[in-house]
């Protein structure tokens, strides 16, 4: 399967394929952003595409990747179940809660939940 752009309530969303390459560096994030540029306002990345170090905040990877999306004014949605990661880290739980209150980065269970963020 390949990355596809879908319309979610009038917002173009690049839905990254679950079987795509791992995102384990800021450059990998820039590659995804490049694929979205001019095509989508939001990128939905399946949890399985993100390297486990993304969820270990002390690695700095999550912050670097999230900042790249903010800098390029493309919103990011991390899509899927992250309960295991959240249970292991109070800091990650706090990041998820604060991010989901904002307008740039969301952690969602599925694309329907993302649509809710986009419509509200």
Tell me the domain boundaries of the chain: 4-119
pLDDT band, very low/low/confident/very high, at 2 (cuts 50, 70, 90):
confident
Q: Which residues of 79-117 are buried (b: 16+ CB within 10 A; e: fewer)?
A: bbebeebbeeeeebeebbeebeeeeebbbbeeeeebbeb
Considering the entire predicted model, what is its pTM? 0.95
103 DSSP assignment: S
pLDDT per position as a tens digit, 12-69: 999 999 999 999 999 999 999 999 999 999 999 999 999 999 999 999 999 999 999 9
> Phi/psi zone of residue 54: left (φ > 0), alpha (ψ -120 to 50 degrees), beta?
alpha
pLDDT at 87 over 80: yes
Task: For the domain covering 4-119, report its CATH number.
Answer: 3.90.190
What is the SS3 string spanning 8-76? ECCEEEEECCCCCCCECCHHHHHHHHHHHCCCCCEEEEEHHHECHHHHCHHHCHHHHHHHHHHHCCCEE
């Amino acid at each position: 399967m390949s990355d596809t752009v879908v319309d979610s309530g009038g917002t173009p969303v690049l839905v990254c394929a679950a079987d795509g390459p791992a995102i384990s560096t800021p450059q990998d994030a820039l590659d995804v952003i490049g694929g979205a540029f001019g095509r989508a306002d939001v990128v939905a990345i399946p949890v399985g595409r993100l390297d486990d170090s993304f969820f270990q905040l002390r690695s700095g990877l999550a912050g670097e990747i999230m900042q790249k999306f903010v800098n390029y004014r493309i919103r990011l949605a991390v899509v899927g179940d992250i309960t295991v990661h959240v249970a292991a880290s109070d800091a990650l739980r706090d990041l998820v809660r604060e991010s989901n209150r904002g307008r740039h980065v969301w952690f969602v269970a599925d694309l329907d939940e993302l649509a809710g963020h986009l419509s509200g």
